[in-house]
Structure 1
């Protein structure tokens, strides 16, 4: 049984490892000329960020792995959490590598990324449906003691949730400290749930990821010295998805991950509106760029999105208790 002190210790250790790795890996990334290629159709204020070292997600992943292997128990659930996180992180790594090597803002082709993501998502869904006490049932937020049995629709539904979440986190990673800060708060939420429900693997894993995100913010907050890249954002999406699925809480993701959700929805609305009417609903999508175009400083957008995540995580706690 994991105690609160164990979780806090895990956070601190993961944080410390991340802090130590930063000054080692960031200069290495710079030396290898692994710099960010900023897209031309983004905010003009972001052009100055071109060349900032990217693929910094490896810092969080190394810290996570060291912490979990040292202080966590490697059972089936922990193994699945690592497979999901590093599996999606690998897809992001390949994507980042192609961007850097070919010096462009686009890496893997969309269908290539989706194929890899779907394979991992289906694997996660099949595992949970075969090992969970609830089987193909999921918890319904705000309805105590009630479950929704998805039956044969469980695997496709979970796969959709996982792929959607992973790509939503990726879309959220557009401002300094935004994705890492939002995910830090969500990981703390899942760590608390894991502790209260006696799920040690989830509590330790979430604590390790919380510490890694917290440490990464030292280097990723405005003005960022390193970007996480798709290596980091897809890995974070894989971690969030896997934890929610193992907790049978896929329906809580749109609540605690509200920022992820609205970022993705803003892009969908923008694309559909432009294709159907030729007009744009937002000044720029994803949503964080809309606020930038409205004149908000980048730091204000990030702070407001962090605050919103705290509020929705508090709502998330209420929804499952």
Structure 2
């Protein structure tokens, strides 16, 4: 399985590298440029017009590579691809409306939520009825698997929607969401390989993880500072769907709180900022999400990306300690 996972990584990388020179000029030709929020950092205004929806590249790479490289398409592979592509479509519609309206406003919140809950339910229902997964989840740092019973499906839906939107919030600097999710993807690639040696259904997920890692490696060529293309909601929602789907299928949704610590911090910074301002009229951070706070205190965005990536690597090492292999 290791050889196939490595093959998937290399193939997905090459697919994105190949798609870049085709996709980016096409997005420019059709004026699919990013709109920048006026209330955001002023230094980002120069990024207005940078092609967005670049997440299409790694979504294609992940789906095609997984289907071509896999010797057998298991149910887990089908559902993880459906979740990734489904959330990508929601993001695509959101990005498309932003471009048409020429402003940073796409789908309405309730429209996004309906779509997200729909795909989350499909994944949760599949997992709940799977003999390999069921209604249990692993408790980090223990050997305990807790049975949620009838609460499993609503909990998993909440987890998937929450994780997806957390990844979406993290996508605010060149290469930030790509780098962090790449590291988390490596973590899950190792875990799926180690756990799936005696389980074909789980083991096949390592191929998907390899494709995820390879495609993001390729995408960083175009998305690292200064970005030639942004992933848009198309990419960030797809990545959130991918990470949450892997965690659910491994019965490890709680591990994302650890390895995806940056996602959690970004989300909490927004919650704290909004709550504080509404209750006291004062802001805790100079700007939220958290990556913008560090920009406002003088950090260059490449430094923010570097430090957040380092922290993610540390969180993933802790994550290995939290799992009973």
TM-score by length of 2: 0.96
User: CA separation in 2, counterparts of 1:172 and 1:221?
Assistant: 15
User: CA separation in 2, counterparts of 1:132 and 1:258?
Assistant: 30
Partner of 2:217: 214
Moved more, 197-206 or 169-178: 197-206
Partner of 2:289: 286
**Offset, 1:132:** 3.8
The match for 2:44 among 46, 51, 57 is 46
Partner of 2:189: 191
Which residues of structure 2 form unaligned runs of 5+?
A: 197-201
Partner of 2:83: 84
The match for 2:275 among 272, 276, 287 is 272
SS for the counterpart of 1:148 is strand
Moved more, 23-32 or 66-75: 66-75
User: CA separation in 2, counterparts of 1:272 and 1:132?
Assistant: 42
Deviations 1:62-86 (A, max 9, x none): 1112211210232211100011000
Partner of 1:258: 261
The match for 1:24 among 22, 30, 40 is 22
Structure 1 stretches of 4+ moved >2 Å: none
User: CA separation in 2, counterparts of 1:308 and 1:314?
Assistant: 10
The question of 1:228 aligning with 2:231 is answered: yes
User: CA separation in 2, counterparts of 1:134 and 1:109?
Assistant: 34
Deviations 1:277-319 (A, max 9, x none): 1111100000000000010000000000000110001111110
Which residues of structure 1 form unaligned runs of 5+?
A: none
Q: How many residues align?
A: 318
User: CA separation in 1, counterparts of 2:67 and 2:163?
Assistant: 26
Partner of 1:129: 128
Partner of 1:116: 115
The question of 1:8 aligning with 2:6 is answered: yes
The question of 1:319 aligning with 2:317 is answered: no
User: CA separation in 2, counterparts of 1:201 and 1:240?
Assistant: 15
TM-score by length of 1: 0.98
RMSD over aligned Cα, in angstroms? Answer: 0.8
